[in-house]
Amino acid sequence: MKEMIKYFLIGLAIMIAFTYLIGLFDDAFNKTGVWYKDIIGSVKYYVLWVLPYWWLIILAGAIVIGLLSYGIKIGITKLKS
């Protein structure tokens, strides 16, 4: 069970990073040109706009990635033994 949680958290991190990058390329995100304002603005945009609409997709993607990773690990260990 601990390993499944580890793979779920890895999948969650992957999905958060993926949706954050997609949010950066969204037309609604406005860049100011000042690097520290852009970083603060991108985090604010992600928390206030991306997360409320994409949380279910992030959660489902994390579950799928976690289960696939865990299943592949179990399959590899069964093939080795």
Cα–Cα distance measured from residue 62 to residue 68, given in angstroms and rounded to the nearest whole number:
10
pLDDT of 24: 86
| Per-residue pLDDT tens over the stretch 2-50 | 889 999 999 999 999 999 999 888 877 888 889 899 899 999 999 999 9
The CA–CA distances, whole Å, from 41 to 18, 36, 48, 76 equal 17, 8, 10, 43
Q: What angle do CA 14, 16, 20 make, to 5 degrees?
A: 120
